[in-house]
Chain A
Amino acid sequence: MELAILGAEFPIVDLRVARQTTRHARHQIHVDSGKHAGFGRLNIVIALQVDAATDILKKKAQRIDEVMAAGAKQLLARAENSRSLEVESVLPRVRATVEKYLLKHDGDAGADAVAAFIESMHADDLCLAIACQRGDQAAWSDLVEGYGATVRSAARSASPNEEMAEDLAQSIWAELHGLKTQEDGRPSGKLAYYSGSGSLGGWLRAVVGQLAIDRHRRESRLVHTEEDAEFDRLSRDAGIERNTGDGFSSDANPEEALATHLASVAVEKALTRALTDLDDEDRLLVKLYYFDGLRLREAGAVLGFHEATASRRLTRIHSDVRKRVEEQLMNEHGWTKSEASRSLSQVAAVLQTDVESLLQAPQPSLVQSAAPEGESAPI
């Protein structure tokens, strides 16, 4: 920071370099303006320190390169079938993966972290993908034989019928192989994007899923274009109904209904804000559980939690959300804590009542069909 300020005053110092210097060579740099009265001398000191910092960065990058080369070598040695690949053909993929998942997000990651990450990569899968990419027919045969079932299964899951699933699976193989060719004549397929950080089977499922979504979007876009006007009209109507029908009945005392409605709006606003302020992981859990309707076990699995851990986490989130909503209500509306708490409870009670009444209300068709037996069928 000190250097940045000085750099602003003296253009000779590049601010970007100065910041890097402060971050990476903080222990070496100490600029005391009191001691260095002359500007020229100060510039010399800074330039020297920048050189030192650059050296450190270079050494670190060199060290990481060495670690990655060693990691690629070790990855080949670790693979049961290295497909006769050489380190030179694997190293670029390893380097790209390390950059993408480690160095891009963590600038301070050291050689040990890099080595550990390479150690966790799927050696056999990566070798198979690289060999396929290089046009190794034996590797292709192994890929189709080993992962044909996976691709078919994923295609069935993502398709409404068997025919579309088969079509999707065939498309996948074409995408993997690559319809275009690279400059060197090799096919340019999607396999080039497999990093080796996850399993090849999982990656294939993800590719199938994305391809299915892309197809769906394309088809939807066509349909949307044709029925755009009608859909928008329906959407607006639904929006109007949703905005007005916010779950609060107007059968009760109008003043009370209005007060409840206002409280509901205030609580909803505070709740939105509270969710936004939540920690990313907590917000993701809330979305998975409430928005996507997952069970706690499933939501926990996405986040890498056990069900019990997810349950504890959700309980804590409830506590946090309540606290944040109440604080929000108190700050924005000047309510006391008891008033905020009472409003929250009141809104929740009304919502609960409405949900229960909705669940208990029989559908007319079912009532009619159940009428001869003298019973109303709950939905």
Chain B
Amino acid sequence: MPNDSEIDVLLRRHANVASEMENSEHLDADELNAFAEGALPMAARSRYVSHLADCGDCRRAVTQLTAASGRVEPERVPASESITESWWQKLGALLAPPVLRYAAFAAVLIAVVGIGFAVWQKSHKAPAGLIAENKRSSNAEELEARQPQETTTRGAAASESPAIAKAFTQSTPAPFSDQKKSESSNDNPPSPPKPVDALARNDAPSVAAGQAAAPSNNAAAPSYAPPPSTESVRVESETREREQQTISDLHGPRRGESVDKYKTMDDRLRAGDVAKGRDEDRGRADAKQPVSKEEEARNEGGAARKRSEPRTATLLGANTEARQETPKSDKAGPPEEAETRSVGGRKFTRQGNSWVDVKLKSSMSIKTIARGTDDFQKLDSGLRSIAQQFSAPVVIVWKGKAYRIQ
């Protein structure tokens, strides 16, 4: 529809009052038909357009012939149309209400899609975050149980109940190197873990559980990776663990923080972790199919739904038995509060029956001093006051040196 209503009205009125000149000459039938069918060369067409613009009879004849021929022209934008428009006319056309109504609709559509995408992304991110934290927290428990792995054969680990691992944790002081492993496992930022980190963390319980837990490694592998053999996975996981340990040496241990922070979540999701292991073992232990992240996420979700199941649910096979290690160690282990203490502005973590300063580094040489001796009295008063807060043996880092007070 024409958009200049004033000119439109004027032209309509002009059409009513104006009269056209009578032409003595008219186009013949062949010319009329050739024009109506668009069969004329450009120059001839221009001539006939000029005649038709002033000759009502010929124009009406051409109109009828055009309608009878059913000629339909495809839409095309002639270049001259766009050239004649100035930039402000184009801008005006862009901001015209007929255009804006479509633009507004498009904007609303984009907004809805954008919000939908954001919500979708959030809903998919949230479980991933929970999974990561769950793993991190549960690994804290599992790694404690894993500490005595150096002295335990894998066959034994696969066959023994997780209670044995717990017994080792409680009775045997861990070497510092192993202590670092446990600290490094807990020393993770709360941000969503990268795939490699997740893999490394997932590997930890698998090492603790030995070969029996190998399928879980398969589950943690990227979906595009071919399913590795059990042995290769084990070796690979150990290698990654060593790398992880090296990396973790660079960070200060903040295990207490992370444990406190995620303790509640741990309790909630631990059962889910077990269920997840169960699902994975049942579904993939034999098939050993590569599992996509989405599938894993779904399993995690399923595990979360299953967390109301009784923890004493029947566990099938050695694989699931090994997997069960995590909740068992949690159930039998000391409370989280007992694992970390903060004395004199320093944090200490329990390692067996002793307390170790989180600032302790593997490169430090440790000087052992018994309480009540002269050497003990010669120590700085600050150091002594800290040591006196503990009844059990304690390793304190003081002015760059490590002291074991027992």
> A298 is contacted by which of B8, B47, B67, B75 (Cβ under 8 Å)?
B67
Expressed in whole angstroms, the Cα–Cα distance for A348 and B6 within the complex equals: 5
Among A120, A206, A304, A316, chain B packs the most CB atoms within 10 A around the CB of A206
Pairwise interchain contact A280-B44, C-beta atoms closer than 8 A: no
Pairwise interchain contact B3-A306, C-beta atoms closer than 8 A: no
The segment out of B76-84, B146-154, B281-289, B398-406 that lies at the interface is B76-84
Pairwise interchain contact B11-A286, C-beta atoms closer than 8 A: yes
**A154 CB contacts on chain B under 8 angstroms:** 68
> A202 is contacted by which of B17, B47, B68, B74 (Cβ under 8 Å)?
B68
> B18 is contacted by which of A193, A272, A284, A300 (Cβ under 8 Å)?
A272
Expressed in whole angstroms, the Cα–Cα distance for A313 and B84 within the complex equals: 11
> A209 is contacted by which of B14, B41, B61, B81 (Cβ under 8 Å)?
B61
> Scoring B residues 56 to 94 as 1 if CB is less than 8 Å from chain A, else 0, what string do you get?
110111111111110111111110010011000100000
Question: A242 at interface (Cβ–Cβ under 8 A)?
Answer: yes
Question: A83 at interface (Cβ–Cβ under 8 A)?
Answer: no
> A351 is contacted by which of B10, B57, B67, B77 (Cβ under 8 Å)?
B10
With A199-B33, A205-B33, A316-B81 already in contact, the answer to whether A347 and B62 are too (CB < 8 A) is: no
Among A205, A316, A322, chain B packs the most CB atoms within 10 A around the CB of A205
Expressed in whole angstroms, the Cα–Cα distance for A39 and B36 within the complex equals: 56
Interface residues of B in 24-60 (CB under 8 A from A): 28-30, 32-34, 36-44, 46-47, 49-50, 52-54, 56-57, 59-60
> B29 is contacted by which of A207, A284, A292, A318 (Cβ under 8 Å)?
A207
With A102-B44, A209-B64 already in contact, the answer to whether A197 and B30 are too (CB < 8 A) is: yes
Number of A-B contacts (CB under 8 A): 200
Pairwise interchain contact A193-B60, C-beta atoms closer than 8 A: no
Expressed in whole angstroms, the Cα–Cα distance for A105 and B44 within the complex equals: 5
> Scoring A residues 92 to 111 as 1 if CB is less than 8 Å from chain B, else 0, what string do you get?
00000000011011100100
With A101-B44, A106-B41 already in contact, the answer to whether A284 and B10 are too (CB < 8 A) is: no
> Scoring A residues 26 to 52 as 1 if CB is less than 8 Å from chain B, else 0, what string do you get?
000000000000000000000000000
User: Number of A residues whose C-beta is below 8 Å from B?
Assistant: 76
Q: How far is the CB of A102 from chain B (nearest CB, A)?
A: 5
Pairwise interchain contact A203-B30, C-beta atoms closer than 8 A: yes
Question: A-side binding surface: helix, strand, loop or mixed?
Answer: helix
> Scoring B residues 320 to 334 as 1 if CB is less than 8 Å from chain A, else 0, what string do you get?
000000000000000
Question: B-side binding surface: helix, strand, loop or mixed?
Answer: helix
**A344 CB contacts on chain B under 8 angstroms:** 6, 10
Pairwise interchain contact B30-A280, C-beta atoms closer than 8 A: no
Expressed in whole angstroms, the Cα–Cα distance for A246 and B13 within the complex equals: 9
Among A202, A272, A308, A322, chain B packs the most CB atoms within 10 A around the CB of A202
Pairwise interchain contact B41-A102, C-beta atoms closer than 8 A: yes
Pairwise interchain contact B6-A345, C-beta atoms closer than 8 A: yes
**B38 CB contacts on chain A under 8 angstroms:** 304
Expressed in whole angstroms, the Cα–Cα distance for A96 and B74 within the complex equals: 31
> Scoring B residues 2 to 22 as 1 if CB is less than 8 Å from chain A, else 0, what string do you get?
111111111111110110100
Pairwise interchain contact B3-A280, C-beta atoms closer than 8 A: no
**B30 CB contacts on chain A under 8 angstroms:** 193-195, 197-198, 203, 206
Question: B1 at interface (Cβ–Cβ under 8 A)?
Answer: yes
Instruction: Please name the residue on chain A nearest to B57 by beta carbon.
Output: A213
> B52 is contacted by which of A197, A275, A284, A348 (Cβ under 8 Å)?
A284
Expressed in whole angstroms, the Cα–Cα distance for A213 and B29 within the complex equals: 12
Question: A63 at interface (Cβ–Cβ under 8 A)?
Answer: no
Pairwise interchain contact B62-A302, C-beta atoms closer than 8 A: yes
Pairwise interchain contact A309-B3, C-beta atoms closer than 8 A: no
**B5 CB contacts on chain A under 8 angstroms:** 348, 352
Interface residues of A in 1-20 (CB under 8 A from B): none
Instruction: Please name the residue on chain A nearest to B82 by beta carbon.
Output: A312
With A105-B47, A272-B18, A311-B1 already in contact, the answer to whether A280 and B53 are too (CB < 8 A) is: yes
Pairwise interchain contact B44-A301, C-beta atoms closer than 8 A: no
Pairwise interchain contact B59-A292, C-beta atoms closer than 8 A: yes
Q: How far is the CB of B92 from chain A (nearest CB, A)?
A: 10
**B77 CB contacts on chain A under 8 angstroms:** 309, 312
> B76 is contacted by which of A209, A290, A306 (Cβ under 8 Å)?
A306
> A306 is contacted by which of B1, B28, B75 (Cβ under 8 Å)?
B75
Expressed in whole angstroms, the Cα–Cα distance for A316 and B84 within the complex equals: 9
> Scoring A residues 215 to 240 as 1 if CB is less than 8 Å from chain B, else 0, what string do you get?
00000000000000000000000000
Pairwise interchain contact B11-A321, C-beta atoms closer than 8 A: yes
Question: A314 at interface (Cβ–Cβ under 8 A)?
Answer: yes
Pairwise interchain contact A355-B61, C-beta atoms closer than 8 A: no
Q: How far is the CB of B94 from chain A (nearest CB, A)?
A: 14
Expressed in whole angstroms, the Cα–Cα distance for A267 and B7 within the complex equals: 11
**A209 CB contacts on chain B under 8 angstroms:** 29, 32, 61, 64-65
**A301 CB contacts on chain B under 8 angstroms:** 66-67, 71-73
**A105 CB contacts on chain B under 8 angstroms:** 41, 43-44, 46-47
The 26 listed contacts between A and B (C-beta, < 8 Å) are: A154-B68, A195-B30, A202-B33, A202-B65, A203-B29, A203-B30, A206-B29, A210-B32, A246-B17, A268-B17, A271-B14, A280-B49, A284-B59, A287-B56, A288-B63, A290-B11, A290-B14, A292-B56, A292-B60, A296-B1, A307-B75, A309-B73, A316-B81, A316-B85, A322-B7, A349-B6
Give B residues with C-beta under 8 Å from A: 1-15, 17-18, 20, 28-30, 32-34, 36-44, 46-47, 49-50, 52-54, 56-57, 59-69, 71-78, 81, 84-85, 89
Give A residues with C-beta under 8 Å from B: 101-102, 104-106, 109, 113, 117, 120, 154, 157, 190, 193-195, 197-199, 202-203, 205-207, 209-210, 213, 242, 246-247, 267-268, 271-272, 275, 280-281, 283-284, 286-288, 290-292, 294, 296, 298, 300-309, 311-316, 318-319, 321-322, 325, 344-345, 347-349, 351-352, 355
What are the 5 closest A-B residue pairs judged by CB atoms, nearest first?
A: A348-B6, A318-B4, A105-B43, A206-B29, A306-B75
